Amino acid sequence: MSKDIHNITLIDGDGIGPEITKSVVEIIKACGVEINWDYQLAGARAYEKYNSVLPDDTLKSIEKNKIALKAPITTPIGIGFKSVNVQLRRHFDLYANVRPSKNLPAIKTPFNDVDLVIIRENTEDIYAGLETKVDENTIHGIKLITRQGCERIVEFAFQYALKNNRKEVGVVTKANISKLADGMFLNCFREIAQKYPNINTREILVDNLCMQLVQKPSQFDVLVMPNLYGDIVSDLCAGLIGGLGVAQSANIGQDCAIFEAVHGSAPDIAGQGIANPTGLLRSAVLMLEYINETNSAKRIEQALFEVLKNGVHLTRDLGGNATTKEFTNEIIKCL
């Protein structure tokens, strides 16, 4: 049987981006998945070369391939431009940000029973960039929430729960204060939940959620929320499983998706060959699942877990001495 060849845009980013990208590309190749990587730039290196942090060629490549893997990029300081990540999410209408948080083998954290998924609305809320200066001392910042935006993210969360055999979807708002905007998010949730009688539901205010997450995170399953709460809560949840360095994420739209590590370009360790590729690798695992290479996704995840469990070839951020290359080679050996 002939294998599928996938065309995927690859943004190898800045700082440690190229190092961890090389590692991930090698591991996927060793697993036997056939991918035509279309290398494109975004961020500081793109700015140096094209005077643009998000060149047209990069956008065209993603438009064509409908799928991208993106390493972290450096935000050039002192240049007035919008966040590349926010621009990409809005340009391709990647309305669902999926951030699973589950304990990893051998990474010690205060809890060992975390297994939850944050589904963050990715295009609205204060990220719509609607801020105006009324006068020197007054700013109006608009929190944009639309019914269509609420319905599609809530629907996405229930569909995600169904496909992934999850038992409960919780909705996170501040509807006691934001009665209209968060109130609409909550009402959409209540309406859509009726279509999914086999999935339990829960309603929780975001402040209470934060307190409960650091006391008993095991009580939560899938959680859906507006953009700003999702931004903050998903980093909190990354902290529950070992930090941003190991967290995975996917930005998903109707017919396009971008997978990325959640940490930054780590300029302090760039070029030293010691970066941990786990965050980008785990995001690539989500990408392989998305393109139906589920068997390879499982093999890579198991190989990664084995290396973490063995504990001998860990990178410095995880308390070891291994280089990126040694860590990568160990994963490839375990495949």
Q: How far is the CB of 48 from ligand NAI (least distance, A)?
A: 14
Q: How far is the CB of 283 from ligand NAI (least distance, A)?
A: 10
Closest to 258 (Cα-Cα) out of 73, 75, 80, 62: 62
Q: Residue type for 123, please?
A: T
What size, in residues, is the chain?
Answer: 335
Q: Work out whether 247 is an interface residue with ligand NAI (CB under 6 A).
A: no
CB-nearest residue to ligand NAI? 264
Q: Work out whether 251 is an interface residue with ligand NAI (CB under 6 A).
A: no
The correct pick among 58, 74, 122, 227 for binding ligand NAI (CB under 6 A) is 74
Q: Which stretch binds ligand NAI (CB under 6 A): 117-125, 171-179, 206-214, 264-272?
A: 264-272
- Each residue 12-31 as x (binds ligand NAI by CB under 6 A) or -, in order, gives ----x---x-----------
Q: What DSSP letter does each residue of 129-183 carry, written as one string?
A: --EEEEETTEEEE--B--HHHHHHHHHHHHHHHHHTT--EEEEEE-TTTSTTHHH
Minimum CB distance to ligand NAI smaller for 222 or for 286: 286
Q: Which stretch binds ligand NAI (CB under 6 A): 27-35, 137-145, 274-282, 327-335?
A: 274-282
First and final CA of the chain: distance in angstroms? Answer: 22
- Measured between alpha carbons, how far is residue 119 from residues 13, 43, 44, 234, 256 in Å? 25, 26, 29, 9, 17
According to DSSP, residue 315 is labeled B
Q: Which stretch binds ligand NAI (CB under 6 A): 24-32, 167-175, 256-264, 298-306?
A: 256-264
Q: How far is the CB of 272 from ligand NAI (least distance, A)?
A: 10
Binding site for ligand NAI (CB under 6 A): 16, 20, 72-75, 85, 244-245, 260, 263-269, 275-276, 279, 317
